[in-house]
């Protein structure tokens, strides 16, 4: 079986051939590819991704693990971008001649372009789309809780790249146009939650929906589990705060309350430091949202309580999960965040907003839920974990068990293989089991 994947990250092996720094994301895709080949040695896999530094339309990389197609990224108008990608994908499809075309993520313009190319080559029935985020739905929540003056404020970087909050919403809306077209056209979809099934069904009631959890990065399966006795008490770990949709502004309001009871509380946030303004360059490239968050932290004397620790690799993420007293997902909307799955697998006690597909990942005895915009209840829930050793241990054990069930590498691989076989045979029924 020849399988062609289209993703939005550069896998480690391809990074080595291109002599670029390996990304800290996307390890789960590589794990999935390895799992497939272990299950079926007859599988041949090619992986397409966008790359900036190309003089030609695409470059073929023959790796030891997979074949890679580096696609020249288009930076012009959207209408030309569609034509650009369709033209390239037509060439690749004719050259590689895949049995299955698997698109990872609906939220990118090139995802729709791949479907169009497959359709032109009479391969539309062989295409399957994995739902990751759904920008057409997420855009509805993008600016919740943000003051009007912050939404429309532009900083120096916006003169070059419109990274204001309103600019971010415009980008989401632009991508959602093509995402909706893709969802309305495609025959096969892979999802993981009741929410993404409902969203897909809204656009295409006749779509073949297959449930398949993603494999997480290999590091998390063999890691030492979280232990109450060695974790750093009264610490909180958050995996990202880059965009308003991650709800960090609501978390700041909760932190203000937590500090009054636990003055030794400390928060570690991975990813880009959005409040960094140490140099002139830092101040020039700071986003409007970052400026707002820094203002709020200063307002409530919280700056010393929050550390942005930058982009970290899988091993460092494991250490942060094990170090934290509590892991928090404060997002205003999510489908099935891998960070929550990772934290559960490690056994870190988890607190999460009750939004989107997250309730399909756990129940109230495995993850402590709260309404996304209720900062007061968020603070209360976190303090309950700080107060109660037995509660921490209970949610650690229960969350870990559910994490193993959700993200079993063996089971996920079998489900993905079943999906491919089902598409090729055109037999069987949809797999809509949310248990």
pLDDT digits (tens, 9 = 90+) for 50-69: 999 899 999 999 998 899 99
42 or 120, which is more confident? 120
Cβ-based neighbours of 138, under 8 Å, separated by 6 or more: 172, 245, 333
**Whole-number pLDDT of residue 89:** 98
- Average pLDDT value for the chain: 92
pLDDT bin (cut points 50, 70, 90) of residue 30 is confident
Pairing state between β 188-191 and 306-310: unpaired
pLDDT tens readout for residues 149-196:
888 877 666 665 666 788 888 888 888 999 999 999 999 999 999 999
**Whole-number pLDDT of residue 160:** 59
pLDDT bin (cut points 50, 70, 90) of residue 290 is very high
To the question of pTM greater than 0.75 for the whole model, the response is yes
For the residues 3-28, what does the mean pLDDT come to? 85
Question: Distance between CA 345 and CA 342 in Å, rounded?
Answer: 5
pLDDT at 211 over 60: yes
User: Under a CB-based contact definition with an 8 Å cutoff, are residues 169 and 139 in contact?
Assistant: yes
Determine the length of the chain.
Answer: 435
- Alpha-carbon torsion, ordered 168, 170, 171, 174, to 10 deg: 160
Domains of the chain in start order, with CATH, are 2-215+409-425 (3.40.50.2000), 219-406 (3.40.50.2000)
**Whole-number pLDDT of residue 161:** 63
User: Under a CB-based contact definition with an 8 Å cutoff, are residues 248 and 293 in contact?
Assistant: yes
pLDDT at 27 over 80: no
310 - beta bridge partners? 270, 271
**Whole-number pLDDT of residue 434:** 42
Pairing state between β 67-72 and 58-62: antiparallel
Pairing state between β 67-72 and 208-211: unpaired
Question: Distance between CA 279 and CA 264 in Å, rounded?
Answer: 29
The candidate with the shortest Cα–Cα distance to 322, out of 225, 403, 222, is 225
**Whole-number pLDDT of residue 162:** 63
The candidate with the shortest Cα–Cα distance to 45, out of 30, 23, 27, is 30
**pLDDT above 70: percentage of residues in the chain:** 95
pLDDT tens readout for residues 313-338:
999 999 999 999 999 999 999 999 99
For the residues 282-304, what does the mean pLDDT come to? 92
The candidate with the shortest Cα–Cα distance to 5, out of 100, 117, 73, is 100
pLDDT tens readout for residues 250-265:
999 999 999 999 999 9
User: Under a CB-based contact definition with an 8 Å cutoff, are residues 32 and 416 in contact?
Assistant: yes
Cβ-based neighbours of 135, under 8 Å, separated by 6 or more: 106, 107, 172, 175, 176, 179
């Amino acid at each position: 079986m020849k399988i062609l994947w289209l993703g939005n990250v550069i896998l480690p092996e391809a990074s080595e051939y291109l002599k670029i720094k390996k990304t800290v994301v996307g390890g789960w895709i590589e794990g999935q590819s390895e799992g497939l080949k272990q299950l079926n040695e007859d599988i041949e896999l090619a992986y397409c991704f966008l790359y900036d530094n190309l003089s030609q339309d695409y470059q073929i990389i023959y790796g030891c693990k997979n074949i890679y197609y580096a696609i020249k990224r288009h930076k012009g108008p959207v209408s030309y971008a569609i034509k650009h990608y369709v033209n390239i994908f037509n060439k690749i499809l004719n050259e590689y001649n895949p049995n299955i075309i698997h698109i990872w993520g609906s939220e990118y313009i090139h995802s729709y372009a791949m479907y169009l190319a497959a359709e032109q080559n009479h391969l539309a029935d062989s295409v399957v789309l994995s739902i990751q985020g759904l920008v057409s739905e997420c855009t509805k929540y993008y600016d919740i809780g943000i003051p009007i003056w912050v939404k429309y404020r532009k900083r120096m970087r916006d003169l070059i790249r419109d990274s204001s909050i309103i600019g971010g919403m415009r980008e989401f809306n632009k991508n959602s146009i093509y995402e909706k077209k893709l969802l309305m056209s495609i025959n096969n979809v892979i999802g993981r939650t009741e929410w993404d099934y409902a969203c897909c069904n809204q656009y295409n009631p006749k779509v073949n929906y297959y449930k398949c959890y993603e494999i997480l990065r290999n590091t998390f399966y063999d890691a030492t589990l979280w232990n109450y006795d060695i974790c750093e008490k009264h610490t909180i770990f958050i995996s990202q705060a880059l965009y308003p949709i991650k709800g960090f502004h609501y978390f700041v309001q909760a932190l203000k309350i937590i500090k009054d009871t636990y003055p030794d509380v400390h928060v570690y946030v991975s990813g880009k430091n959005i409040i960094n303004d140490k140099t002139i360059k830092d101040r020039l490239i700071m986003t409007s949202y970052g400026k707002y968050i820094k203002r709020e932290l200063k307002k409530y004397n919280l700056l010393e309580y929050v550390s942005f620790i930058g982009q970290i690799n899988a091993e460092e993420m494991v250490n942060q999960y094990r170090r934290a007293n509590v892991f928090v997902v404060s997002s205003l909307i999510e489908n099935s965040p891998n960070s929550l799955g990772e934290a559960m697998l490690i056994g870190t006690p988890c607190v999460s907003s009750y939004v989107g597909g997250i309730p399909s990942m756990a129940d109230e005895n495995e993850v402590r839920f709260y309404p996304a915009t209720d900062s007061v209840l968020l603070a209360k829930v976190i303090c309950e974990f700080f107060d109660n050793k037995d509660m921490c241990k209970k949610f650690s054990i229960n969350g870990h068990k559910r994490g193993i069930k959700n993200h079993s590498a063996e089971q996920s691989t079998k489900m993905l293989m079943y999906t491919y076989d089902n598409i090729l045979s055109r037999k069987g029924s949809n797999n809509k089991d949310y248990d």
